[in-house]
């Protein structure tokens, strides 16, 4: 039973706009193009070129040549620093792009195209600002606490003059004791045995600012992002024998692990509120998502989104939240309401079809308390919903108490087009209904939920 439930779950995939979604890195091509990479490539029995993922030098050289070959970026990090994988980090960038393009929350200035992001703990690799600037033309502030990280992040920015003016590296704040601890972990290794220095490092972390003391007066950003310290100790960080991504104690360890670190970002966000349109972070353990979402609800966020990042055998999760009120559709009584809205689901998972869309649609409305009648022969769901039911879907409790209560009836029909494509149509029985505006907003919400649940490359959940 347990295995069956696992098979029924939609499989997360690499982001469809990721450069490597259709064509993974070609190690043989890279080895023939870049002689420095060739010594790290070997061929397995099936004839496929591979590298030793436990060799830091191999993974670092792979990152270097990928950034140069596919992105035109010059890049390097010293021994012991955290070495990022380019495809995985690109997934995070494209997910943030999805959030910004979704217009779930409004832009403060719709005419302004410049996107500005903040990378918490940019590291010596400075990977997110480099990718965001080169791929999408975003401007960035990258923060960090150690001299080594700041120095090499600056070097990597200066090595790419075509985007160097788009990226600012900023010190987040580092106390003298932290610098002393960093020295004791010179060229930090995940196998350090110094309990005293580890304790000092943990105490230091509790004092370091994350966002509040790093932003300047009046600064605003479209988003922040973070690859947090995943582990509670250096011993825990060294438990995976299959990879060698390097990493200093500052990059890998935080008291309480990633949950505590992200919780501190949440606390800062509750103070900064709308200084950022979106606050986001990567999460290494899915079990932490539930408690983080609970904490976000406690501080009064207006929206929470999650996703799964998949690259090869590596899975990470993303969490995003905002304090900006979501966009509300305002329908004038003098404007004709679109009675039969529709949308197309493209890239539906192979194991899913029109019937799965129909069932998911029924569950979507039934979860709000609305009355649903499923007609399998006609592939439609007839829904009768009160204003309270619609507001519950839109998470707009305040509006439930405005004006008349009322109710509305409508039908959602599902049509299989070609394999992987399903058309969803809505039909409002009375277009002059007082709830026609809410109906259209709920239909938009249904589109978002179905795409997140059933379409390849879309694994975010509200």
Annotated binding-site positions: 89, 121, 144, 227
Which tokens belong to 348? 């539906």
Angle in degrees, CA 137, 267, 209, rounded to 5: 70
- Which tokens is 28 given? 């043989």
Tokens of 355: 């019937």
* Residues whose CB is less than 8 angstroms from the CB of residue 349 and which lie 6 or more positions away in sequence, other chains included: 10, 11, 454, 455, 456
What are the binding residues for S-adenosyl-L-methionine? Answer: 89, 121, 144, 227
CA dihedral sign, ordered 418, 94, 246, 255: negative
Q: With contact defined as beta carbons under 8 Å apart, do 61 and 147 qualify?
A: no
- 3-class SS letters over 170-220: EECCCCHHHHHHHHHCCCCCCCCCCHHHHHHHHHHHCCCCCCCCCCCCCCC
Q: Phi/psi at 200 (nearest 5 deg)?
A: -65, -40
CA distance 131 to 225: 13
Whether 234 and 197 have beta carbons less than 8 Å apart is answered as: no
> How many whole angstroms separate alpha carbon 48 and alpha carbon 34?
18
Q: Both tokens of residue 335?
A: 């404007």
Tokens, residue 114: 């410049």
Helix (H, G, I), strand (E, B) or coil at 266: helix
């Amino acid at each position: 039973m347990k295995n069956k439930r696992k098979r029924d779950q939609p499989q997360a995939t690499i982001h469809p706009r990721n450069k490597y979604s259709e064509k993974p890195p070609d190690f043989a091509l890279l080895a023939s193009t870049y002689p420095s990479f060739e010594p790290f490539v070997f061929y397995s029995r099936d004839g496929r070129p591979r590298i030793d993922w436990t060799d830091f030098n191999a993974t670092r050289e792979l990152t270097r040549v990928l950034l140069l070959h596919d992105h035109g970026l010059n890049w390097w990090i010293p021994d012991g620093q955290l070495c990022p994988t380019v495809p995985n980090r690109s997934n995070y960038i494209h997910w943030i792009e999805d959030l910004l393009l979704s217009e779930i929350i409004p832009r403060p200035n719709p005419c302004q195209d410049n996107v500005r992001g903040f990378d918490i703990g940019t590291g010596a690799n400075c990977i997110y600002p480099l990718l965001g600037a080169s791929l999408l033309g975003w401007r960035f502030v990258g923060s960090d606490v150690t001299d080594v990280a700041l120095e090499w992040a600056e070097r990597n920015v200066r090595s790419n003059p075509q985007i160097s003016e788009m990226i600012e590296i900023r010190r987040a704040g580092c106390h003298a004791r932290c610098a002393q601890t960093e020295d004791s972990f010179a060229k930090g290794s995940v196998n350090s045995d110094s309990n005293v220095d580890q304790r000092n490092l943990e105490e230091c972390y509790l004092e370091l600012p994350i966002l509040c003391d790093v932003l300047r007066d009046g600064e605003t950003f479209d988003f922040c992002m973070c690859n947090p310290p995943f582990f509670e100790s250096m011993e825990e960080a060294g438990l995976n024998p299959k990879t060698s991504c390097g990493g200093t104690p500052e990059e890998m360890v935080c008291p309480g692990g990633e949950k505590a670190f992200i919780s501190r970002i949440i606390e800062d966000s509750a103070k900064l509120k709308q200084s950022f349109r979106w606050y986001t972070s990567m999460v290494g353990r899915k079990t932490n998502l539930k408690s983080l979402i609970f904490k976000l609800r406690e501080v009064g966020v207006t929206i929470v989104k999650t996703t799964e990042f998949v690259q090869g055998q590596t899975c990470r999760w993303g969490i995003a939240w905002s304090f900006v009120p979501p966009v509300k559709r305002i329908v004038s009584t003098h404007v004709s309401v679109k009675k039969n809205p529709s949308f197309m689901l493209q890239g539906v998972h192979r194991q899913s079809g029109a019937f799965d869309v129909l069932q998911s649609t029924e569950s979507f409305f039934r979860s709000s308390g609305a009355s649903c009648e499923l007609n399998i022969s006609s592939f439609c769901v007839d829904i009768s919903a009160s204003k309270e039911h619609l507001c519950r879907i839109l998470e707009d409790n305040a509006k439930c108490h405005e004006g008349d209560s009322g109710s509305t009836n409508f039908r959602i029909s599902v049509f299989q087009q070609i394999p992987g494509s399903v058309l969803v149509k809505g039909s409002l029985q009375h277009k002059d209904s007082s709830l026609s505006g809410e109906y259209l907003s709920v239909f938009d919400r249904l589109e978002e939920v179905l795409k997140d649940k059933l379409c390849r490359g879309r694994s975010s959940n509200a």
